[in-house]
A and B are shown apart, each in its own frame.
Chain A
C-alpha cells in the first residue's frame, strides 16, 4: 500500500508539468498522421500525466476522477470507435476500414485521425486503470 507523502516540491512541480504533458500527448495523437506519433504513443504520454498526478499530487484525487467503471467504459469506447469507423465505410459501400468512401473532404486522413483517437482513448484508459489497480492491490 502506498502512503501519501505531502511534499510541496513534488506537488508544485507535478502541477506545473501535468498540463504540458497532457498537451503534448494530445498533440502526438492528433498529429499521428502527419508527423511521427500516433494513438499508441500519444495514449501512453497522456496516461503518464495521470500517473504523475497520482504519484506526485494525490492518488485519491485520480481515483475519484476515474472510477474503475468509467475507465473500463472508456477502454471499450476506444475499440468501439475504431470498429464503428470501419463499419461506417462498410455500410457506405466500401470495404471494412476503407475510409475513402466516407463523404467528407480528405476522408482518408480524417478516417485515420478517427481511429488514432480511438486507439488513444483505449490505451490511456487501460494504462490508467491497470496502474490504479496495481498501486492499491494488497
Chain B
C-alpha cells in the first residue's frame, strides 16, 4: 500500500502550494505582519518584557508556545532516533 501515502503527500503539497499564493510578498512594508505585530514588538518590547534582546523577547515571551513546540519536536525526534537505533544491550 504505497499508493495511499503518495496520494496523501501529493494532496498536502498541493494544498500548501495553493496556500502559498495568498502569502504577502516578501519584505512588503504594507503586509499585515509589518503593520500590526512588528511595530508593537519594536516599540513596546522592552517596556513589556524588560529584556534587551528583542529576538529572545519574541521567541521566548510573545511566541513561547511556539518554542515549546520546537523543544517538543526535538524531544520527539531524539526519542524516535533512539528507538530506531536501539540495540539488545540497552
Contact = CB atoms under 8 A, between A and B. Distances in A.
Contacts, number: 92
A94 interface: no
Contacts of A118: 71
Interface string B34-68: 00000000000000111111011101110011011
Interface residues of B, number: 29
State the majority secondary structure of interface residues on B.
helix
Interface in B67-90: 67-68, 70-72, 74-75, 77-79, 81-82, 85, 87, 90
A130 B85 CA distance: 9
B81 A79 contact: no
Interface residues of A, number: 38
For the residues of A in contact with B, the DSSP-based class is helix
5 contacts: A32-B53, A33-B60, A79-B71, A112-B61, A122-B71
